[in-house]
Amino acid sequence: MAPAMKAVIELHKAMLVAVMWVSCLAAAPRLALSQVDELTGLGQLSRSFEAMIEAVSPSVVKVFVSGFVPRSGIVSSTGDLLARQHSTGSGVIVDADGYIVTNAHVVSGARRVQVLIATSGAQRADRSSILKPSGDLVGAQIVGVDNETDLAVLKVAKRGLSALQLSDSDAVRKGQLVFAFGSPLGLENSVSMGVVSSVARQLRQEDPMIYIQTDATINPGNSGGPLVNASGEVVGINTFILSQSGGSEGIGFAAPSNIVRNVFEQIRQKGAVQRGAIGVFAQTITPTLAAAMGLQQDWGVILGDVYPNGPGAQAGLQIGDVILSLDGKLMENGRQLEVNLYSRRIGTRVTLEVLRNRRKRRVEVTVIERPGNSTQFLALVNRETNLVENLGILAMDLTPQVERLLPPLRRKDGVLVAGRAVDAPFWESGLLPGDVIYSLNGESVESLEELRKHLSKLKVYDAVVMQVERSGRLMFVSFELE
């Protein structure tokens, strides 16, 4: 029988079943709607979704940000160069002690951040109106920002909040039901439903980030809100959409929860993110590459480079090695290897299963901090000795030993910014780890003691301008003292 004829017969069968079902319902007019609901199973499914959404909603917050941005066009005076801007986004409470995760771009340029925390279920229990109170608007502090993953951590002075659990994003599967929560276009605590379109979307080859792609409706304002599974666990943080119209077209992307967990825990503990590495460049094996090199598999990870004198080279890794697993976990692409190394503590050892010349071997490699990471000096400072409280930084003298760890500098004296204090005030255009401070309001800064001395002369809200060297460039950094 021709395939087309088979398809027609199957279609007729399906239509016949549908007609019989409708006829049965028509023949039993006294059958209660609730009974039909139970027969189809839709009622039970709907109620399970309702219960999950009711449990998740108190953990979703609306983020209000105010700050200054450069004014476009011609301005009449220098006082008009900056325009005040107000924006909103979303966030999710991930720790009952007041820690919230959102996107870095949501709080970019922020001078003030507030979050709207929904009224808890217990507070709503005695209210019958469908119009619920919006919640409590409280001030929030930016604990830290990681621009590579576009994630930020906020802190509010409230405890006992309803927090959501970050699930294992490696367990997410294509086609899985997911729900996007947030405040699209300012409409707080909205929810949409969809499926996972891709579990590890890489927008560009060797992109430093991978995303969970979903067709759940995501619009401007959803950024920073949680993408949750049917159990109410966070599988990702809604980050951006691809759109030709500016609105949702069913192509949304969320930072996977395993990456979110690593970034959150490091920012909460240290105020910044350290990333582990083993001194190799890992690439994803493609069918073309596998065919040209005669590899046994057309997927996985191959080492495109092993950096001289790095831990990988010292352990005996070679260019062209195929990495099969990391600590027993199958490695399917180059980015997966990098992400799994990021979360390893500096100084620990990992075990790689390596395929070379059709022979498998096990190699132990020491994890180091990724070169160029701005947090490399945190191990050399402590809060008691190096905190500059009114700047919210951990700083250290520019000694010859420290200078050897830096690229060539313009001057031989100054103060190095080693990191930010976790509870520091935050300036988007302020000091960054790795900056070297040379002067403050025109006065030379040659030591940490001298920096503190100059700062002691200033009052809250005084204007501050510092000359710093950043990545080989001299620049001025200005802000108001808080």
Q: What is the CATH number of the domain that holds 424?
A: 2.30.42.10
Q: Please answer whether residues 113 and 65 qualify as being in contact, where contact means their C-beta atoms are separated by less than 8 angstroms.
A: yes
Question: Of 239, 266, 293, which one is at a domain's C-terminal end?
Answer: 266
Q: Is residue 48 part of a domain?
A: no
Distance between CA atoms of residues 366 and 378, nearest Å: 19
Residues 280 and 209 in one domain: no
Would you say residue 314 has pLDDT above 80?
yes
User: CATH number of the domain that 211 lies in?
Assistant: 2.40.10.10
In the prediction, which pLDDT does 272 show?
A: 78
pLDDT in tens, 250-287: 899 999 999 999 899 989 987 778 888 999 999 989 88
Annotated active-site residue in 223, 257, 321, 435: 223
* DSSP codes joined into one string, 398-420: --HHHHTTSS--S-S--EEEEEE
Q: Same domain for 382 and 476?
A: yes
pLDDT cut 70: percent of the chain above it: 80
Long-range contacts of 168-175 (CB under 8 A, 24+ apart): 168/257, 168/258, 169/212, 169/235, 169/236, 169/256, 169/257, 169/258, 169/259, 170/258, 172/196, 172/199, 172/212, 172/229, 172/235, 172/236, 172/256, 173/199, 174/198, 174/199
102 occurs within a structural domain: no
Examine the domain organization and report whether 389 and 359 are in the same domain.
Answer: no
- Residue among 146, 150, 321, 435 flagged as catalytic: 150
Residues 412 and 460 in one domain: yes
162 flagged as catalytic: no
Which tokens sit at 414? 């100054």
Domain co-membership, 419 together with 340:
no
pLDDT tens string 345-371: 889 999 999 999 999 999 999 999 876
Q: Is 105 a catalytic residue?
A: yes
Is 223 annotated in the active site? Answer: yes
Given 59, 87, 90, 105, the catalytic residue: 105
Question: Regarding predicted confidence, which is higher, 138 or 7?
Answer: 138
Alpha carbons within 13 A on the beta-carbon side of 65: 27
Whether the Cβ atoms of residue 436 and residue 456 lie closer than 8 Å to each other: no
Residue 207 to residues 169, 210, 284, 323, 336, Cα–Cα distance (Å): 18, 7, 11, 19, 11
Task: Kindly tell me if the per-residue pLDDT of 22 is higher than 50.
Answer: no
Summary mean pLDDT of the chain = 83
Residue 22's domain spans which residues?
1-27
Range with the poorest average pLDDT among 93-97, 256-260, 421-425: 421-425
Which one of 235, 266, 297 terminates a domain? 266
Task: Based on the fold, state whether residues 219 and 185 are members of the same structural domain.
Answer: yes
pLDDT at 26: 52
pLDDT-based confidence at 382, cuts 50/70/90?
Answer: confident
How many domains in the chain?
4
The Cβ of residue 88 has, within 10 Å, a number of other Cβ atoms equal to: 22
148 found inside a domain: no
CB contact at 8 A, 140 and 156 = yes
* Contact (Cβ atoms closer than 8 angstroms) between residue 135 and residue 118: yes
